[in-house]
């Protein structure tokens, strides 16, 4: 197995070529001539909002917490590639599994003639579920969400779905139809989306006072009750913590109350654990840690260790709604259960389920929380609110989305990769790999304080 000896993954940033470099700029110019123009326009909008360039860097290689661009600049990735590289980029176990599988079988015949890795992965995932389970694999979190929605429709014969304001479940048609993150994502396609989706308010755990927090939970559950009372709701889909929606954890007891209401109404509760699951937030499944046992669990991101694979875990009795095996397959695809992705997922699960991995996530999360909490006490930095769920972190900034984008760019120029999120776009969302070192956390914190000072709102 080849190892990048000059990129062990635990190094601090080194930005020797100012951004954007000439090679990167040429590549981005090439990209802008052929990619969907909506993506290029997004960069322009970001420049207008932040007053800074948002030409992206072009990644060349990555290992551990480090990313190197085509100019040779080295960065520390606090996004873990949208959360997929929880174990770190190019984790040795995942790379070895992919290399072994690549010499044996790259592609099989999906649901007709499956591969050994597909069978092994589905068996492994079923063993992780809190109830006897059946599994549907996919290539993305949105794929798995759509499999869950289809399962609910088949099992309940009801078209309606309760989802939540601020929730994000992907941008394919079924998934975007239940994503309350931004109306703008749904509006152009509204005529083709499920008209029976009802959006309830998501109760923030960060309400100004206990009374207001309790009122927020009551208002959310009242909206859910009203929707369920119509008799048209077949599914309730929820993130245990809003991810892209700004790292908003559900208050204690809310998910359990939601599960009970869904059960009494004959609706299927879908827990979207694409962001929160597989250990990132401290437990294998965040929903179950909150005393909520859903009917369907949706997994992705960290599952593949960097390769595209997702899974929908379905309670056995619900899965029977798909019908007898001699009928036509209602949900499949060419690359369902791709051997390479399944091999990567099996290797990833081997590491993710080790007790020492949970210990490392806890220790890294605690170090990150204590370091950032201490540094951000200074109210002049303009960070009025912070949320920590192990390695899922939200930092709400004063100054709106423009300032958040300016901080994002300032951090990139200092060698740290971060993203913005939140419905208002004013939250720095951190989803770092578990292999962050103390030096990388300390360096990030110093860079963040400097960036916050540099972009401070008068």
Q: Measuring CA to CA, how many Å separate 1 from each of 95, 104, 355?
A: 8, 16, 26
For CA atoms 292, 337, 243, 77, give the dihedral sign.
Answer: positive
Q: What pLDDT score was predicted for residue 37?
A: 87
The helix/strand/coil state of 179 is coil
Q: Residue 424: is its pLDDT beyond 90?
A: yes
Interatomic CA distance for residues 227 and 267, integer angstroms? 11
- For the chain, the distance separating the N- and C-terminal CA atoms, rounded to the nearest angstrom, is 53
Q: How far apart are CA 259 and CA 130, in angstroms?
A: 14
Q: Give 26's contacts (C-beta < 8 A, 6+ positions apart).
A: none
Which of these, 188, 151, 145, 117, lies nearest to 339 by C-alpha position? Answer: 117
Q: pLDDT tens digits for 337-393?
A: 999 999 999 999 999 999 999 999 999 999 999 999 999 999 999 999 999 999 999
Q: What is the mean pLDDT of residues 197-210?
A: 87
Q: Report cis status (omega within 30 of 0) of the bond before 148.
A: no
User: Model confidence over 134-158: pLDDT tens digits?
Assistant: 999 999 999 999 999 999 999 999 9
User: What domains can be seen in the chain, in order of their start residue?
Assistant: 1-78 (no CATH), 110-352 (3.40.640.10)
Token output for 246: 């700004």
State the Cα–Cα distance between residues 408 and 73, nearest whole angstrom.
17
Provide the 3-class DSSP secondary structure of residue 324: coil
Q: Nearest Cα to 121, choosing from 325, 407, 267, 339? A: 339
50 — pLDDT class (breaks 50, 70, 90): low
Q: What is the pLDDT of residue 207?
A: 73
> What are the φ and ψ backbone dihedral angles of 8, each rounded to 5 degrees?
-70, -20
Q: Which helix (H) or strand (E) holds 127?
A: helix 116-128
What is the pLDDT at residue 330? 85
Give the C-alpha separation, 279 to 390, whole Å: 9
Q: Rounded distance, CA 78 to CA 61, Å?
A: 16
Best CA proximity match to 68, nearest among 60, 76, 80, 78: 60
Strands annotated E in 259-391:
268-272, 296-299, 310-315, 385-389
How do strand 427-430 and strand 392-396 relate by DSSP bridges? antiparallel
Residue 42 has pLDDT above 70, yes or no: no
Q: Can you tell me whether residue 59 is helix, strand or coil?
A: strand
pLDDT of residue 5: 61
Centroid of chain to Cα 63? 20
Q: Mind listing the pLDDT tens digit for each residue in 276-300?
A: 999 999 999 999 999 999 999 999 9
Nearest to 374 by CA among 449, 290, 291, 434: 449
Single pTM value for the model: 0.96
């Amino acid at each position: 197995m080849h190892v990048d000896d000059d990129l062990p993954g635990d190094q601090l940033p080194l930005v020797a070529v100012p951004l954007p470099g000439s090679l990167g700029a040429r590549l981005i110019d090439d990209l802008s001539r052929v990619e969907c123009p909506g993506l290029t326009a997004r960069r322009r909008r970001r420049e207008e909002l932040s007053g800074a360039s948002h030409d992206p860097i072009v990644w060349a290689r990555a290992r551990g917490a480090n990313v190197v661009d085509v100019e040779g600049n080295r960065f520390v990735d606090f996004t873990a590639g949208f959360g997929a590289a929880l174990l770190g980029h190019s984790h040795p176990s995942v790379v070895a599994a992919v290399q072994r599988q690549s010499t044996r079988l790259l592609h099989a015949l999906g649901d007709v003639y499956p591969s050994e890795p597909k069978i092994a992965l589905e068996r492994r995932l079923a063993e992780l579920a809190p109830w006897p389970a059946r599994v549907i694999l996919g290539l993305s979190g949105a794929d798995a969400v759509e499999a869950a929605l289809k399962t609910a429709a088949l099992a309940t014969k009801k078209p309606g779905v309760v989802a939540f304001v601020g929730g994000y479940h992907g941008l394919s048609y079924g998934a975007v139809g239940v994503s309350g993150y931004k109306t703008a994502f749904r509006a152009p396609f509204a005529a083709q989306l499920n008209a029976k989706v009802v959006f309830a308010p998501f109760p923030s755990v960060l309400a100004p006072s206990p009374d207001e927090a309790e009122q927020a939970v009551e208002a959310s559950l009242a909206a859910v009750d009203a929707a369920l009372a119509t008799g048209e709701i077949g599914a309730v889909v929820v993130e245990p913590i809003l991810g892209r929606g700004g790292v908003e954890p559900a208050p204690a007891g809310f998910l359990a109350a939601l599960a009970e209401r869904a059960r009494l109404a004959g609706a299927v509760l879908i827990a979207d654990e694409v962001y929160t699951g597989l250990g990132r937030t401290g437990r294998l499944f965040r929903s179950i840690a909150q005393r909520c046992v859903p009917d369907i669990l949706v997994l992705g991101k960290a599952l593949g260790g960097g390769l595209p694979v997702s899974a929908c875990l379905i309670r056995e009795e619900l899965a029977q709604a798909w019908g007898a095996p001699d009928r036509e397959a209602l949900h499949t695809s060419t690359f369902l259960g791709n051997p390479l992705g399944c091999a990567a997922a099996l290797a990833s699960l081997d590491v993710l389920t080790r007790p020492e991995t949970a210990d490392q996530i806890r220790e890294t999360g605690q170090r990150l929380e204590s370091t950032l909490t201490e540094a951000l006490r200074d109210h002049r930095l303009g960070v009025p609110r912070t949320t920590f769920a192990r390695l899922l972190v939200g930092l709400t900034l004063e100054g709106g989305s423009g300032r958040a984008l300016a901080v994002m760019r300032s951090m990139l120029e200092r060698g740290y990769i971060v993203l913005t999120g939140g419905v208002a776009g004013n939250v720095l969302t951190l989803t770092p790999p578990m292999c962050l070192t103390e030096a990388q956390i300390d360096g990030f914190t110093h860079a963040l304080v400097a960036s916050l000072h540099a972009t401070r709102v008068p």
